[in-house]
């Protein structure tokens, strides 16, 4: 998906005097479409904040510090779409409007560890860990917009509110205690945050844009978003919020609803039109730091919230048997990897059941295996290092069982291959994955 597919090029427009005239001209529909796509990441972040602060330490009515997941993700976990089953997640939310926070990252040695610092527009303003600071850990000062501070240990966050998401690699159940010790060393002090509830993505148009206006007011956009707000002008949504649903009559409301419907359809169409190379889609270069690519940013917020930048991790989605990233067949599929993947950390292939609204979650299966990767015990590997992964709803039997990645008993499913710390040949496209084929 790219911005051209999702957002039509429109000239900058000024606010017309009457909502009915806007509805007739069609400008309001376009503004609503663009504004919904622009605001969706904020809405999804706010929803995630409510879900993820449930177990956080309270300081009065605020939340502070990290909440650690002590077990690997299972089908019961629906807090975040497209979770991995390789790392333990630790998350914290901060509000830097009152002052800075201090983040401490422990020594992790050879164990992969990263702490992504994301602004409320889902951009990774920093990823601190194995790749960037090494295995020795460190202490960092997080400062918000306009606050004083400088030096190598200062991280400037582009919105006052932010999400810190840590990933700690786990090498199976026997490794959990050691991984917990690393998690316990991830510390955050200062900048406690509120977690108010906002309207969700499928709320009525007036509630959705009122929530968006509040979130934008709390987290002002960047200067380079100014042209986008000129396109939103007929809606009355500004860089400081400012949305008033009472100014729109029934005809105008119908145009707004039509614009939102167009935005949702564009996201689904974008998923369907994804570019696949030898059966895989590859991340765009701006994944995780999107700039003005608002359509792609919205799609990732819906289907892969909190995605890392490609240099940290590459996410490849299989084309599926419908050609649009989804499998529906009941047969057996095979992925034949000729040898080790070019990564400096680890890789895994994860199975997801697909929901009707474009999200993906781990799926129940009889052997409780949700992914296969370079650390999966008991795999049958050829003498030349080649690995055949068997994918299907039923046990393929015999020696193939050892390399079986179970699909849901019924319904559509999707496959994502993650490559952490990909080497240059993968980043540049000189290395490509082989296709998944029907066995």
Residue 195: how many other CB atoms lie within 10 Å: 18
240 and 339 assigned to the same domain: no
In Å, the largest CA–CA distance within the chain is 74
Q: What pLDDT, on a 0 to 100 scale, did the predictor assign at position 191?
A: 86
SS3 assignment, position 430: coil
On whether both 19 and 119 belong to a single domain, the answer is: no
> Is 75 among the domain residues?
yes
- Domain of 318 in residue numbering reads as 310-438
Per-residue tokens: 94: 């901060």
Q: Residue 234: inside a domain, yes or no? A: yes
Closest CA to 371 of 74, 69, 68: 74
- Which of 129, 163, 189 is the last residue before a domain boundary? 189
Sheet of 154-156, strands arranged across: 154-156, 138-143, 101-105, 187-189
Q: Residue 89 belongs to a domain with what CATH number?
A: 2.60.40.1610
Strands 101-105, 187-189: parallel, antiparallel or unpaired by DSSP?
A: antiparallel
Question: How many structural domains comprise the chain?
Answer: 3
- Is the CB of residue 183 less than 8 Å from the CB of residue 90? yes
What is the three-class DSSP state of 101?
strand
Q: Are 255 and 155 in a shared domain?
A: no
Residue 16 within a domain? yes
The region that residue 247 occupies, defined by phi over 0 for left and psi between -120 and 50 for alpha, beta otherwise, is alpha
Q: Are residues 407 and 429 in the same domain?
A: yes
Q: Please check whether residue 305 lies inside any domain of the structure.
A: no
In-domain check, residue 296? no
Residues whose CB is less than 8 angstroms from the CB of residue 170 and which lie 6 or more positions away in sequence, other chains included: 72, 86, 87, 88, 176, 179
Asked if residue 72 and residue 32 are part of one domain, the reply reads no
Which of 143, 169, 189 marks a domain boundary? 189
The tens place of each residue's pLDDT in the chain, 439 residues long, gives 333 333 332 222 222 334 444 444 449 999 999 999 999 999 999 999 999 998 888 888 899 899 999 999 999 998 888 999 999 999 999 999 989 999 999 999 999 999 999 999 999 999 999 999 999 999 999 999 999 877 889 999 999 999 999 999 999 889 999 999 999 999 999 888 999 999 999 999 999 999 999 999 999 999 999 999 999 999 999 999 889 999 999 999 999 999 999 999 998 876 555 689 999 999 999 999 999 999 999 999 998 999 999 999 999 999 999 898 999 999 999 999 999 999 999 999 999 999 988 889 999 999 999 999 999 999 999 999 999 999 999 999 999 999 999 999 999 999 999 999 999 999 999 999 999 999 9
- Give Cα separations from 413 to 317, 324, 362, 384, 430 (angstroms): 11, 11, 10, 31, 28
**C-alpha to C-alpha distance for 232 and 227, rounded to whole angstroms:** 9
> Is 285 inside any structural domain?
no
Of 189, 217, 250, which residue constitutes the final position of a domain?
189
The CA angle 285-291-7, to the nearest 5 degrees, is 95
180 and 214 in a single domain? The answer is no
Q: Residue 217 has which token pair?
A: 């007011």
Looking at the fold, whether 114 and 229 belong to one and the same domain comes out as: no
Domain assignment present for 194 = no
pLDDT at 54: 83
Please report, for the domain that includes residue 359, its CATH number.
2.60.120.600
Quick check: is 304 in a domain?
no
The C-alpha atoms of residue 387 and residue 372 are separated, in whole angstroms, by: 11
The counts of H helices and E strands in the chain are 10, 21
**Residue 173: per-residue pLDDT:** 87
Same domain (yes/no): 81, 167: yes
Residue 337 sits in the same domain as residue 224: no
Tell me, yes or no, whether 185 and 65 share the same domain: yes
pLDDT at 274: 67
pLDDT of residue 287: 96
184 and 241: one domain?
Answer: no
Q: Assess whether 137 and 160 both reside in one domain.
A: yes
């Amino acid at each position: 998906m790219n911005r051209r597919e999702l957002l039509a090029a429109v000239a900058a427009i000024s606010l017309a005097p009457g909502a009915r005239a806007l509805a007739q001209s069609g400008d309001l529909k376009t503004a609503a479409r663009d504004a919904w796509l622009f605001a969706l990441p904020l809405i999804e972040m706010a929803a995630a904040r409510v879900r993820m602060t449930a177990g956080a330490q309270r300081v009065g009515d605020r939340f502070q510090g990290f909440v650690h997941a002590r077990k690997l993700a299972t089908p019961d976990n629906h807090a975040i779409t497209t979770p991995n089953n390789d790392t333990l997640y630790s998350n914290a939310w901060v509000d830097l409007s009152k002052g800075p926070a201090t983040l401490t990252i422990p020594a992790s040695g050879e164990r992969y560890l990263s702490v992504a610092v994301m602004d409320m527009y889902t951009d990774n303003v920093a990823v601190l860990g194995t790749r960037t600071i090494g295995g020795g850990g460190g202490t960092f000062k997080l400062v918000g917009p306009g606050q004083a501070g400088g030096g190598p240990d200062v991280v400037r966050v582009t919105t006052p509110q932010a999400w810190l998401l840590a990933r700690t690699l786990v090498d199976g159940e026997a490794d959990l205690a050691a991984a917990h010790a690393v998690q316990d060393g991830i510390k955050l002090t200062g900048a406690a945050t509120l977690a108010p509830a906002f309207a969700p993505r499928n709320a009525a148009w007036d509630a959705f844009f009122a929530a968006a206006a509040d979130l934008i007011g709390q987290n002002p956009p960047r200067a380079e978003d100014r042209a986008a707000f000129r396109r939103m002008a007929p809606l009355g949504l500004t860089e400081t919020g400012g949305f008033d649903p009472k100014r729109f009559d029934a005809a105008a409301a119908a145009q707004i609803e039509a614009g939102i419907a167009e935005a949702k359809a564009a996201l689904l169409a974008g998923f369907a039109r994804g570019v696949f190379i030898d059966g895989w889609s590859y991340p765009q270069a701006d994944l995780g730091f999107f700039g003005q690519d608002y359509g792609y940013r919205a799609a990732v917020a819906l289907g892969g919230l909190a995605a890392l930048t490609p240099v940290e991790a590459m996410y490849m989605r299989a084309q599926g048997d419908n050609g649009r990233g989804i499998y529906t067949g009941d047969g057996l599929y095979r992925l034949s990897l000729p040898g080790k993947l070019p990564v400096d950390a680890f890789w895994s292939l994860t199975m997801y059941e697909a929901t009707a609204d474009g999200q993906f979650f781990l799926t129940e299966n009889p052997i409780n295996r949700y992914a296969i990767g370079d650390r999966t015990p008991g795999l049958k590997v050829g003498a030349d290092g080649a690995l055949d992964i068997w994918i299907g709803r039923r046990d393929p039997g015999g020696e193939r069982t050892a390399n079986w990645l179970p699909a849901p008993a019924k319904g559509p499913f999707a496959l994502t291959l993650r490559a952490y710390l990909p080497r240059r040949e993968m980043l540049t496209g000189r290395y490509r994955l082989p296709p998944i084929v029907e066995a």
